[in-house]
Amino acid sequence: MANVSAPAPPAEAASVYGAKAVAIAASKKGAPYAYGATGPKKFDCSGLTLYAFRKAGRRLPRTAEQQYRSTHHISRQQRAPGDLVFFLTGTAIAHVGIYAGQDKIWHAPRPGTRVRLEQIWTVNTRYSRAD
């Protein structure tokens, strides 16, 4: 379960880095997926989030699991554009994207795909904010 020590700010007060990170991820639309890639031309899922937030002025660790552990956990109701969306396989963090609003994320899905905006396809997710 999420390690929440204090209530997160309301959705309107999303990370100052979030809006920039969404725009940066969107600018990478169509970039090919490559396992272990952190940009600027190819990405894996956590490579895209790492790249977008670094360009926005916030450093994140390399992997999705590390990114989840190092950010402020929030509820689904608190999410706002620019928050991180983590997808689970069992209890393990298996994928990450950047929340774009309207139940959509920017992400690098898997080998053979490209960075894209996509509807969130499951409720088996966790959310965090890179304050």
pLDDT(3) > 50: no
CB 49, CB 57: distance < 8 Å: no
How far apart CA 11 and CA 13 sit, in angstroms, is 5
Name the residue ranges covered by the structural domains of the chain: 15-129
Buried b (16+ CB within 10 A) or exposed e, 75-89: eeebbbbbbbbbbee
Kindly compute the dihedral angle of the four CA atoms of residues 111, 117, 121, 126, in this order, to the nearest 10 degrees: 90
* Per-residue pLDDT reduced to its tens digit, 39-95: 999 999 999 999 999 999 999 999 999 999 999 999 999 999 999 999 999 999 999
- pLDDT digit string, tens, across residues 7-30: 444 444 567 899 999 999 999 999
Q: Does the annotation mark 95 as catalytic?
A: yes
72 as an active site residue: the answer is no
Q: In this predicted structure, what is the pLDDT of residue 124? A: 95
15-129, CATH topology level: endopeptidase fold (from Nostoc punctiforme) (3.90.1720)
Which residue is catalytic, options 14, 22, 31, 45? 45
| Cis ω before 109 (30° cut-off from 0) | no
Q: Is 107 a catalytic residue?
A: yes
